[in-house]
């Protein structure tokens, strides 16, 4: 029966040279452990019915290779996307038990749990050990160009596929939200970038649904990291199985480059620039992403972000000029920026006007807010002190005294609830005005940034 291939669990996936021609093939190398026999015997002991308190430690001490080889430190991520990965040295593992248990069954259950834990630990460490051995074998194999891995942290190994084409597998496994998995092709010394991600990112939906709330919590929130887009040719989900499509992508790109270099240039460079231009035109004409925004200002901001942001890619595009004619794409980006500039300037003026009105409204509302706040907080604090005294009462005399204070407060400030309600209403209005100012401030910064970027580009 053929073994099911599980990437980085049963096999490593590799790119290798074809012995018969210059093409590149995919292959799967089985992960084998020279200590499989020992581990299988150990697993059987971990699942038997023996319930001796010393048994788990005896299993572990039955062969010095379990502690001395298997339970050593390994650069190995159990989960690529989770934080705090890697296997620390575990050779000092020891199982201890309390002197007394309520019942024999409690002791038996803990022993069985420890045996299960030991088996699971050895399975993980055993796989990590076997994988490290295969890494070493691959490094001495000249026919293998690249291989999958599950190492922790930043790994940017460069693999030469042809004399002109190389690939970097950019990985940062085992660091939670900071983890990533990308590939970057480099052709004749120039990185091939997935420019179209700039216009195909799913930001429009989150942008329109939570834009104002994001401004509320961080008025300077940045939605797009330009550095991310210009650092990969393709990106992948953080699971071991993603190595399969990643290797397929690289294999297809390399073989196309080998067999038809012009087709390779058109597909991975020219067409990619074309997709960026098409996406920008759709955004400008409000056919994609923008048309879901119900407020004009958000639509203009989105167009400004995308169109002016595309200028960041022009210098990289021009690196391809010795390979193919790319200047036309740069000209189109510049033309779109110039056509959008008047709209950005106009919307900046409208926003500045709205911002001024909001600041005036806040200034006019401030005295009422301060008066309501001061009056309410003064009475709230007095009421709070009475409640504190009530909690500290230790006898009936003290309870009577506090009750009299409470009656006096209620009599003197019988409008406390009205004062409280008025403050909350005034405070809500005050908060809304401040939020509006923060929102307009954020728009102001954005429009100024986009206008400045365009103007500076043409200086």
Q: What was the pLDDT predicted at 166? A: 93
CA distance 262 to 323: 10
pLDDT digits (tens, 9 = 90+) for 285-324: 876 555 555 588 988 998 999 999 999 999 999 999 989 9
Asked whether the CA dihedral 302, 308, 309, 313 is positive or negative, the reply is positive
Measured in degrees and rounded to the nearest 5, phi and psi for residue 222 equal -105, 130
Does 368 map to a domain?
Answer: yes
Contacts of 386 (CB under 8 A, 6+ apart): 402, 405, 406, 409
Which one, of 419, 3, 28, 457, lies nearest residue 241 by Cα?
Answer: 28
> Residues 82-97: what's their mean pLDDT?
87
Please say which residue of 116, 139, 162 terminates a domain: 139
Residue 160, pLDDT > 50, answer yes
What domain range is 104 assigned to?
Answer: 11-139
Q: What was the pLDDT predicted at 142? A: 86
Contacts of 103 (CB under 8 A, 6+ apart): none
Does 446 map to a domain?
Answer: yes
Tokens of 273: 């620039």
Does 29 map to a domain?
Answer: yes
Q: What was the pLDDT predicted at 286? A: 78
Which one, of 7, 45, 4, lies nearest residue 248 by Cα?
Answer: 7
Give, for 411, the enclosing helix (H) or strand (E): helix 396-412
Please say which residue of 77, 112, 139 terminates a domain: 139
Give, for 30, the enclosing helix (H) or strand (E): strand 24-30
Question: Are the CB atoms for 408 and 379 separated by under 8 Å?
Answer: no
Number of domains in the chain: 2
Q: Is residue 35 packed enough to be buried (19+ CB in 10 Å), middle (13-18) or exposed (0-12)?
A: middle
CA distance 235 to 168: 12
Give 52's Cβ-side CA count (13 Å radius).
Answer: 10
pLDDT digits (tens, 9 = 90+) for 44-62: 999 988 888 888 889 989 9
CA distance 237 to 181: 7
Q: What was the pLDDT predicted at 251? A: 95
Does 113 map to a domain?
Answer: yes
Question: Are the CB atoms for 369 and 427 separated by under 8 Å?
Answer: yes
Question: Are the CB atoms for 35 and 17 separated by under 8 Å?
Answer: no
Q: What was the pLDDT predicted at 201? A: 63
pLDDT digits (tens, 9 = 90+) for 206-244: 343 333 333 333 333 334 455 566 678 998 999 999 999
Tokens of 388: 């504190």
> Residues 138-143: what's their mean pLDDT?
89
Does 30 map to a domain?
Answer: yes
Question: Are the CB atoms for 296 and 208 separated by under 8 Å?
Answer: no
Which one, of 101, 75, 104, 99, lies nearest residue 88 by Cα?
Answer: 75
Which one, of 298, 333, 327, lies nearest residue 312 by Cα?
Answer: 333
pLDDT digits (tens, 9 = 90+) for 401-453: 999 999 999 999 999 999 999 999 999 999 999 999 999 999 999 999 999 99
Does 17 map to a domain?
Answer: yes
Does 275 map to a domain?
Answer: no
Tokens of 114: 């420890």
Q: What are the Cα distances from residue 41, in Å, to 7, 30, 35?
A: 25, 21, 10
pLDDT higher at 287 or 95: 95
Please say which residue of 78, 108, 139 terminates a domain: 139
Q: What was the pLDDT predicted at 209? A: 34
CA distance 54 to 97: 9
Q: Is 231 helix (H, G, I), strand (E, B) or coil?
A: coil
- Alpha helices by DSSP H, 64-103: 64-65
Does 322 map to a domain?
Answer: no
In 3-state terms the chain splits into helix, strand, coil percentages (rounded to 5) of 60, 10, 25
Residue 66, pLDDT > 70, answer yes
Q: What was the pLDDT predicted at 394? A: 87
């Amino acid at each position: 029966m053929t073994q099911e291939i599980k990437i980085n669990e049963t096999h490593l996936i590799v790119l290798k040279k074809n012995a018969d021609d210059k093409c590149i093939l995919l292959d799967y190398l089985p992960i084998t452990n020279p200590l499989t026999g020992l581990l299988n015997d150990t697993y059987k002991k971990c699942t038997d019915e023996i319930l001796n308190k010393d048994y788990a430690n005896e299993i572990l001490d039955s062969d010095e290779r379990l502690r001395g080889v298997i339970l050593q430190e390994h650069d190995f991520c159990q989960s690529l996307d989770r934080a705090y990965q890697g296997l620390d040295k575990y050779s000092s593992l020891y199982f201890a038990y309390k002197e007394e248990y309520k019942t024999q069954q409690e002791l038996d259950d803990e022993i069985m749990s420890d045996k299960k834990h030991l088996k699971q630990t050895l399975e993980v460490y055993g796989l990590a050990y076997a994988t490290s051995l295969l890494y070493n074998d691959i490094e001495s194999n000249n026919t293998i160009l690249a291989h999958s891995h599950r190492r922790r942290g930043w790994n940017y190994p460069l693999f030469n596929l042809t004399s002109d084409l190389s690939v970097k597998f950019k990985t940062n496994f085992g660091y939670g939200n900071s983890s990533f998995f990308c590939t970057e092709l480099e052709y004749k010394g120039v990185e091939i970038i997935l420019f179209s991600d700039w216009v195909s990112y799913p930001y429009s939906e989150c942008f329109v649904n939570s834009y104002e709330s994001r401004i509320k919590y961080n008025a300077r929130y940045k939605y797009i990291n330009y550095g991310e887009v210009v650092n990969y040719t393709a990106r992948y989900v953080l699971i071991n199985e993603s190595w399969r499509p990643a290797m397929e992508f690289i294999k297809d790109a390399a073989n196309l480059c080998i067999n038809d270099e012009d087709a390779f240039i058109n597909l991975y460079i020219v067409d990619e620039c074309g997709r960026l231009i098409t996406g920008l035109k759709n955004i400008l004409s409000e056919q994609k992403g923008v048309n879901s925004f119900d407020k004009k200002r958000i639509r203009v901001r989105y167009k400004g972000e995308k169109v002016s942001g595309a200028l960041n890619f022009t210098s990289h595009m021009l690196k391809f000029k010795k390979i193919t004619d790319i200047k036309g794409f740069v000209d189109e980006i510049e033309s779109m920026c110039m056509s959008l500039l008047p709209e950005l300037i106009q919307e900046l003026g409208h926003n500045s006007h709205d911002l001024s009105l909001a600041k005036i409204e806040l200034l006019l509302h401030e005295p009422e807010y301060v008066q309501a706040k001061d009056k309410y907080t003064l009475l709230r604090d007095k009421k709070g002190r009475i409640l504190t005294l009530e909690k500290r009462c230790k006898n009936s005399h003290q309870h009577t005294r506090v009750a009299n204070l409470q009656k006096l407060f209620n009599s003197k400030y019988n409008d406390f609830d009205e004062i409280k309600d008025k403050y909350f209403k005034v405070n809500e209005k005050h908060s809304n005005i401040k939020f509006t100012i923060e929102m307009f401030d954020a728009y102001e910064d954005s429009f100024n940034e986009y206008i400045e970027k365009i103007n500076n580009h043409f200086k």
